[in-house]
Amino acid sequence: MHDMTARVAAISGHKRSPNFLKNQRWYPTVYDLRRGAQRRLPHFAFEYGDGGAGDDTGIKHNWSALDAIEMVPRYGATPELPPVKVKLFGREYTAPLGVAPMGSPIVVWPGADKLFARAAQHAGVPYTLGCAGGATIEEIAEIAPDVFWFQLYRFAKNDHAIGFDLVKRADAAGAHALMLTLDVPVRTIRAREVKVGVGGGGAFKADWRMMMGMVKCPSWAVAMLQNGQPRFANIQPYAGANAGLNDTITFARKEMGGAFSWDEVARYRDKWKRPLIVKGILHPADAEKAVSLGVDGILVSNHGGRQIEALPAPIDCVPAVVKAVGTKATVLFDSGVRSGTDVARALALGAKAALAGKTFLWSVGALGSEGPGHAIDLLIDELQSALGQVGARSPDEARNVVLRHPGAYDFERNHP
């Protein structure tokens, strides 16, 4: 086992987590991390990170759509595990996977943003700090200078004064890419969050159930003592020097919201001189519009099934988006990635890389500070195995794999 681990690391150029073998025994898959998180986290924290819109139908649909894709292997081509390094927007990364932007992952695990960034920097994969995260742009830039991307929500008031200032800060900090989120046109309610007291329209107040959950999960409580109470680190300064959590929440609800219009995307394109990605594209015509404005990357996503459960599974839209943009932009994928095999499926359909969100939330829930690095190790191992098994000698060769994709959208037929 030790020899195989060393061989995989040498092939990928990936620096493994120090305790990978120990943690692998208990958490050999992402599903095991999810079960571990459910056992180890306060109930409200798990529900916040694990849930989605409605009754989670959208999340389940994302998973089942990925599971339905079959890849036909060709043998005799790959006698060993293939390398998985990839170049994205002119920079080389260890593997075609990354940490997706997440809103307030510190509710799931205090200090989560910094743990994600540290693990991504160590592994050499992209990390996208969410605009509503719990660490500042400047903090993450210091922790993960080689892999740092920044995601922005829409702040339209005062001619985008806050949004443009956040972009200015990201530029000064050296973020390698800016991601504009288009897939939250309106605010929605997530039932599982509301039931445990961390969602809805009211002020946040810890009730007795939350307090009991914290007491029963001492590792989470210790992490909160070390990192402080949850906060919207990048938004708080604009809410006022002495703004508390609820003040910042109220401010964000007034100032932040809606999907960027195409005119606004064009304005941010003018402001941001590094790679620009738009997140939440599902229709190929929207991808074509983004490319016409000079966007460098298209992230095919339905917000992980957390906005509305009636949307298509993003993996079913990837082929049409890839066909629409051709070589004019880099297509990325997220929503439902739970394994390296899922990443391989996305690559086979033409995406250049895949991002995961819940996988990393489960990882900190199960293993605390060691979780994100362990999740990256698992995904890279599984990706190499999947590519080798189907006969692809590199991530790019995955596009040559014969596959069956029953859920693929035919936009030309359905919408002439």
**Per-residue model confidence as pLDDT tens digits over 192-229:** 767 766 766 555 666 767 777 777 888 888 998 899 87
Rounded Cα distance between 1 and 415, Å, is 52
pLDDT class of 78 with cuts at 50, 70, 90? low
CATH number at residue 9: 3.20.20.70
> Structure tokens of 233?
């680190």
- Of residues 61, 176, 303, 374, which has the active-site annotation? 303
Rounded Cα distance between 288 and 229, Å, is 42
pLDDT class of 369 with cuts at 50, 70, 90? very high
**Quick check: 95 pLDDT over 80?**
yes
pLDDT class of 7 with cuts at 50, 70, 90? very low
**Quick check: 151 pLDDT over 80?**
yes
**Quick check: 188 pLDDT over 80?**
no
Burial of 97 (0-12, 13-18, 19+ CB in 10 A): buried
Check residues 255 and 301 and name the one with the higher pLDDT.
301
245 domain-assigned: no
Question: Of all helices (H) and strands (E), which one includes residue 148?
Answer: strand 148-152
401 domain-assigned: yes
Average per-residue pLDDT for the chain: 90
The arithmetic mean of pLDDT across residues 277-304, rounded, is: 96
Residue 394, domain extent: 2-191+252-409
The arithmetic mean of pLDDT across residues 51-60, rounded, is: 83
The yes-or-no answer on residue 405 being catalytic is no
226 domain-assigned: no
Give CA torsion, residues 255, 258, 259, 262, to 10 deg: -80
362 domain-assigned: yes
Rounded Cα distance between 395 and 398, Å, is 5
Tally the domains of the chain.
1
234 domain-assigned: no
170 domain-assigned: yes
216 domain-assigned: no
219 domain-assigned: no
Q: Under DSSP, is residue 93 helix (H, G, I), strand (E, B) or coil?
A: strand
Residue type present at position 285: A
